[in-house]
Structure 1
Amino acid sequence: MMKTTAVRLYGVKDLRLESFELPKIKSTEILAKVISDSICMSTYKAVNQGSSHKRVPSNVDTHPTIIGHEFCLELLEVGEKWQGIYNIGDKYAIQPALNYKGSLDAPGYSYQFIGGNATYVIIPEEVMIQNCLLPFEGEGYFSGSLAEPFSCVAGAFHENFRSNFETHIHDMDIKKDGAMILLAAAGPMGLAAIEYAVNRDITPKLLIVTDIDQNRLDRASKMISPEFAEKKGVKLIYVNTINFSDPVNQIKALNHNQGFDDVFIFAPVKMLAEQGNQLLAQKGCLNFFAGPTDPNFSASFNYYKLHYEGHRITGTSGGNTNDMLEVLDMFSKNILRPEIMISHVGGLDSVIDTTLNLPQVPGAKKLVYTHISMPMTAISDFKELGKNDTIFYELSEICDRHNGLWSVEAENYLLKHGKKIEV
């Protein structure tokens, strides 16, 4: 048997960092070592809802689950059923949206022995049956963790559609060379959406990104500059709408007073959803990407324009396996830069505090190395902390060599020299 250390959920806001024995794996299971996980707002929602969350079991108080669903791992022991298919020592990412026999159960929400915030886990057979254990051939581990959030973006783009009157078949995906706007989108998922939008084959001609936090907009503009987007054939405009007296018309003014073919909502705010509806062009599609915690959340939609102008609305909650394979391939070919999402790095012992306070922690994605003990720390703070700490000094030097971004070099240094978590 193998001992693991993990962050487990027992109920509403009840998270505990504990060490315990994993059972011996069955012939249908796989034992794996988790290397990295990134913390998702969906986990924050699950922790705040406890067993009332659709993916969290009702008996979580007596059968606690391991949290974290954006993780990358290497295999240690492969059960007989999967030998010759999955290889010991290889690197894999997990697609948590299993949809096994229609169940909503998912790693990081529903299982006692698998989740991203653990040192070692047992992968149940349904993960392999659903082809949700995905090989990753790119460098490092953090990219494998960020494949899941990027796949959510890819899935959302593929979900957008227009109705073809001649064939009555939906033309799927965003409109090529169209006008696109991402509302409240300077956060981590918005960054992924901007990066994906400007680096794939189907790109908009105009991409507007709004937010009301200038610091987030400034970081986004630094990570994915309008100059960089222009080289890809995309006119990228960042807009702070906090002082807009007439947001819909002031935003339309940036598009020659026209509406937008694709509108994405990144925050579950009623006013924002209704503004998004008003920003649609003829045959435009509104994608409600944000996940509300209120099951009664609603907003008005203009059904006159739905009928006469062909407006369409959709919403997505995660990507599928093909979406994840797509972004893993783009990562391995250096087409997408997952490192732009990362603003903080920490160890397994930083997970509880970070998760419980996630909306108040500034910046973008929070990356966790599960075998490391380290406070959740902003990359921008490495230099100051490095005055009194060798680890942070070296990490600061490495990040400076990579334009202030996390990197495989930084990951390798931390995994080698960082303080190990106590079991």
Structure 2
Amino acid sequence: MKTRAVRLYDENDLRLEEFELPEITDEEILVEVISDSVCMSTYKAAILGKNHKRVPQDVDVHPIIVGHEFAGNIVKVGEKLKGQFKEGNKFALQPALNYKGTMWSPGYSYRYFGGDATYNVIPREVMEIGCFLNYQGEAYYEASLAEPMSCIIGAFHASYHTSMGSYEHRMGIVEGGKMALLAAAGPMGLGAIDYALHTDRRPSLLVVTDVDEEKLSRARTIFTEQEAEKCGVELVFVNTKDVEDVPTKLRALTGDTGFDDVFVFTPIKPVVEQGDQILGRDGCLNFFAGPTDPKFGAHLNLYNVHYGSTHIMGTTGGNTEDLLESLKLTEEKKINPAVMVTHIGGLDAVAETVLNLPHIPGGKKLIYTHINMELTAIEDFAKLGANNTHFACLADIVANNKGLWCAEAERYLLEKWRA
């Protein structure tokens, strides 16, 4: 079976190539990948190459397939797995394998297992630890986006709080508490807003900051104060770009008591420090955004750590239960991962997209691996539709869905644009 895939050879060296996949064993599965959403973590692996903890040292000789937020169809099932999985069914994937203490993951570590490919081979350890999942949802992109949503869900679950005189950690955000999402008008921040408003355990106050007014305007359009009020949440957006004293302004929104849960969505020193300064007693700061600099640091108030029980943590990825929760909430229409997506592209757009990801505006970039299509902003569909019938049809579909990508748009793309 031949596959087309984007492979990493070393720092800043991504290549779209066609090559032969090995025949699967009795404990492996051959899959067809349909969609893969591009993660900032893939950019970090691409620019670091062998210096990335998950990338093998022989990647220049044995390149790996990039991409880990993917979904598709089961093509062939190994003999020992036929009772669990059926050819022709859809699949979803939890890429955070943590297999026997290793850091190997699809999109970083495997020669024949990654999301930016037309076909690939799922190795036996993925099924062994329950990370390969039968998926019965309507849209492939929702299964792809379940992975980034699972990272958000995992972060909310990992937050913890304490009581004076007790050594017990109460896991999860404070229900009915005060939450701040800093630098959160990007894709992961939007996913966090969606989850905070629609999960069972919600804050009473949700403050979202950013310095990009265009992104904030889009967030306000998607998540209105009226919708948040129906969820029992006071939602406040704050552009901190020209605010002289950000911590004072944000603390004032809490009556100067500070926040119970703070999530930082960018690895920028002043923003991390703002997060620390707005914590209330027993406040939990989650440094969600992973830096590329191994020496990255920030000034934290250790007086408050000692006397105010403030604490800091970081999470990377979610577990399988988090991913299943994401799929369930999406299926029940409680959350809509499409809020994260701003661009659509084909497999031929992956290399350029990944290597330039920090400089491309907007949110998630969603790739459909069986088409050739320049990375295109959803908001540009209507303009491009003047000379392209396909874009005109896609523009009409998303216009009827609050400007968001949707299952109908995906069906149209897969039916009409297949290369």
Q: TM-score, normalised by structure 2?
A: 0.99
| Secondary structure, counterpart of 2:109 in structure 1 | coil
CA distance in 2, matches of 1:163, 1:53: 35
1:350 is matched with 349
Structure 1 counterpart of 2:23, which letter? K
Runs of 4+ in 1 over 2 A off after TM superposition: 164-167
CA distance in 1, matches of 2:355, 2:184: 22
How big is the shift at 1:319? 0.5
| Secondary structure, counterpart of 1:273 in structure 2 | helix
CA distance in 1, matches of 2:223, 2:354: 27
1:294 is matched with 293
CA distance in 1, matches of 2:44, 2:296: 15
CA distance in 2, matches of 1:68, 1:221: 30
2:312 is matched with 313
| Secondary structure, counterpart of 1:217 in structure 2 | helix
Deviates more, 1:55-64 or 1:326-335: 326-335
| Identity across the alignment (%) | 53
1:242 is matched with 241
CA distance in 1, matches of 2:133, 2:312: 31
Contact 1:374 1:419 in 2 (8 A): no
Any idea what the Cα deviations from partners look like across 1:342-363, whole Å, max 9, x if unmatched? 1000110011111111011111
Structure 2 counterpart of 1:24, which letter? E
TM alignment of 1:138-157, pairs within 5 A: 138-157=137-156
1:330 is matched with 329
Structure 2 counterpart of 1:133, which letter? F
| Secondary structure, counterpart of 2:139 in structure 1 | coil
Structure 2 counterpart of 1:50, which letter? G
2:98 is matched with 99
1:304 is matched with 303
1:71 is matched with 70
| Secondary structure, counterpart of 1:238 in structure 2 | strand
How big is the shift at 1:257? 2.3
Structure 2 counterpart of 1:116, which letter? G
Alignment coverage as a number of residue pairs: 419
Contact 1:344 1:364 in 2 (8 A): yes
1:361 is matched with 360
How big is the shift at 1:419? 4.0
Structure 2 counterpart of 1:31, which letter? L
CA distance in 1, matches of 2:254, 2:117: 47
Contact 1:343 1:365 in 2 (8 A): yes
CA distance in 1, matches of 2:248, 2:272: 15
CA distance in 2, matches of 1:211, 1:165: 34
Structure 2 counterpart of 1:407, which letter? C
1:23 is matched with 22
CA distance in 2, matches of 1:203, 1:224: 15
1:129 is matched with 128
User: Tell me, which stretches of 5 or more residues in structure 2 are unaligned?
Assistant: none
Contact 1:4 1:119 in 2 (8 A): yes
CA distance in 2, matches of 1:43, 1:7: 12
Structure 2 counterpart of 1:282, which letter? R
